[in-house]
Amino acid sequence: MRVTVFGCGYVGLVTGACLSELGHVVECIDIDADKVATLQSGTVPFFEPGIDALLQNKNLSFSTKATAPDLCIIAVGTPLAENGSADLSQVFAVTDLISVMEKPPKAIVMKSTVPPGTTAKIAARTGLETISNPEFLRQGSAVQDFMQPDRLVIGASSKRGFALMEQLYAPLNLPAERIVNTSTNSAELTKYAANVFLTTKLAFVNELALYCETVGADIDEVTKGIGLDTRIGNQFLQAGPGIGGSCFPKDIRALAFQSKALNHHLEIVQAVIASNDTHQNAMLQKIVNMCGGSVSGKRVAIFGVTFKAETDDLRNSVSTVIIPALQNLGAKITATDPMGMENGKTCFNGVEWKKDPYLAVESADVVVVLTEWELFRKIDLARLAEAMKAAKLVDLRNIYTGDQARGAGFEYDSIGRAGSIKG
Ligand code: UDX
Which tens digits make up the pLDDT trace of 27-62? Answer: 999 999 999 999 999 999 999 999 999 999 999 999
The yes-or-no answer on residue 72 being catalytic is no
Is 2-182's fold the same as 190-423's? yes
CA nearest 318: which of 369, 355, 356, 274?
Answer: 369
Cβ contact 352:334 at 8 Å? yes
Among 15, 138, 303, which residue has the most ligand 1 atoms within 8 Å of its CB, making it the best to mutate? 138
Cβ contact 4:66 at 8 Å? yes
Among 308, 310, 312, which residue has the most ligand 1 atoms within 8 Å of its CB, making it the best to mutate? 308
pTM: 0.94
Q: For domain 190-423, which architecture applies?
A: 3-Layer(aba) Sandwich (3.40)
Phi, psi of 295 (to 5 degrees): -105, 5
Tell me what pLDDT residue 187 has: 98
Task: List beta partners, residue 335.
Answer: 302, 353
CA nearest 165: which of 173, 174, 156?
Answer: 156
Tell me what pLDDT residue 30 has: 97
Mean pLDDT within 400-418: 95
Tell me what pLDDT residue 422 has: 60
Say how many Å lie between the CA of residue 281 and the centre of ligand 1: 20
Write the residue with the smallest CA distance to atom 16 of ligand 1: 138
**Taking the domains of the chain in order of start, what are their residue ranges?**
2-182, 190-423
Written out in words, the top-level CATH class of the domain with range 2-182 is: alpha beta
Cβ contact 305:314 at 8 Å? yes
Say how many Å lie between the CA of residue 245 and the centre of ligand 1: 7
Phi, psi of 282 (to 5 degrees): -65, -35
- Burial group, residue 33, by CB count within 10 angstroms (0-12, 13-18, 19+): exposed
Q: Would you give the distance in Å from CA 183 to the centre of its chain?
A: 26
CA-based max dimension of the chain: 70
Q: Using the atom order of ligand 1, give the atom closest to the CA of residue 307.
A: 23
Mean pLDDT within 186-196: 98
> What distance in Å separates the CA atoms of residue 104 and residue 217, rounded to the nearest whole number?
61
